Amino acid sequence: MKKRIVVACGAGLATSTMILQKVEEFVKELGVSCSITQSQIYELDFYDGEADLFITSMKLDQSKYKTPIVVGTPFLIGLNEDVLKEQIKQILLN
Amino acid sequence: MYVEENLVFYNQRFETQSQLFDFIADELEEKNYVTEQFREAIKIREHNFPTGLQLQNLNVALVHTDVEYSKTEKLVIIKLEKPITFKNIETLKPLEVDFIIGLILKDSHKHLEVLQRVSRLLQNEDIIQEIRQASSHVELTILMQDYFNKKEKEI
């Protein structure tokens, strides 16, 4: 089954684009077949429960969402990328 | 040309975030690069969705707003004389920012290219170091123009 990932930031314009570029590279590396959508944070309700993973620029309250959320900022700034990659891997491979 | 000499500012001093945004809006309006609504739109966007990034050795704000307020593709580069308080994009906690990159985005295809370059810059410790060390307008301009204006294959 294809995994569905939504990458979201405030505008769904700049930071999510930068995060998305790195996510695409990483899931390719993982060899997991994914469809990746870009959105604005306040549109996430629409994908909640449907998507397998949300990757956001801002920390969100996980208790408000069914879909697991990770913060994608490490992909923006290049720090702690390994931790983030491990989290994504765990979620997608489970 | 994403980076124009007259949109690179060295040692610019602002007391507040609002002053900074007014300055950026004044410069961009004068060149007819943004619409009248840009000024308010960029302030509101930063308020609702902060853009402060804490890099290893530099705190950067990637200020931007929707494409409908832009008339072109440009970057505004500002090295601040003293830090301005922004909020961290991730934690929303206060962050003292030293360096501003204003993303004036219009065309979605060109977006990808310029955003990819910004993304690489944030992760390139050598360039960050050079930004920190740049000690004049000319130096900062040449550094940024070399990085952003050259062709893809040369990066």
Catalytic residue among A6, A7, A9, A55: A9
Give pLDDT tens digits for B32-68: 999 999 999 999 999 999 999 999 999 999 999 989 9
| Mean pLDDT on B83-102 | 97
Tally of domains in chain A: 1
| pLDDT confidence of residue B88 | 96
Domain region containing B23: 3-154
- Six-digit token string for B78: 């500002």
Give dist(CA B116, CA B136) in Å, integer.
26
CA distances from A84 to A23, A89, A90, B155 (A): 10, 9, 10, 26
Give pLDDT tens digits for A7-51: 999 888 889 999 999 999 999 999 999 999 999 999 999 999 999
| pLDDT confidence of residue B151 | 65
Q: How confident is the model at residue B101 (pLDDT cuts 50, 70, 90)?
A: very high
| pLDDT confidence of residue A1 | 82
| pLDDT confidence of residue B149 | 85
Three-point CA angle A63, A61, A70, nearest 5°? 100
Is residue A9 flagged as an active site residue?
A: yes
The per-residue pLDDT of chain B, averaged, comes to 93
| Mean pLDDT on B94-104 | 97
Does residue B153 have a pLDDT over 80? no
Let me know: does B68 contact B53? Beta carbons within 8 Å. no
Tally of domains in chain B: 1
The per-residue pLDDT of chain A, averaged, comes to 94
- Order of all β-strands in the sheet with B94-104: B3-12, B74-87, B94-104, B59-61, B52-54
Give pLDDT tens digits for B137-149: 999 999 999 999 8
The CATH number for A20's domain is: 3.40.50.2300
Interface contact flag, B64 A76, Cβ < 8 Å: no
Complex confidence, ipTM: 0.86
Interface contact flag, B115 A17, Cβ < 8 Å: yes
Is any Cβ of chain B less than 8 angstroms from the Cβ of A14? yes
Is any Cβ of chain B less than 8 angstroms from the Cβ of A85? no
| pLDDT confidence of residue B19 | 97
| pLDDT confidence of residue B154 | 53
Give pLDDT tens digits for B6-37: 999 999 999 999 999 999 999 999 999 999 99
Q: Which of B67, B119, B122 sits opposite A21 (nearest CB)?
A: B119
**Which H, E and C letters describe A44-86, residue by residue?**
HHHHCCCCCEEEECCCCCHHHCCCCEEECHHHHHCCCHHHHHH
The CATH number for B9's domain is: 3.40.930.10
Does residue A73 have a pLDDT over 90? yes
The residues near B112 (Cβ < 8 Å, ≥ 6 apart) are A17, A21
Interface contact flag, B53 A76, Cβ < 8 Å: yes
Is any Cβ of chain B less than 8 angstroms from the Cβ of A18? yes
Calculate how close chain B gets to A76, using CA atoms only, in Å. 6
Domain region containing A7: 3-93
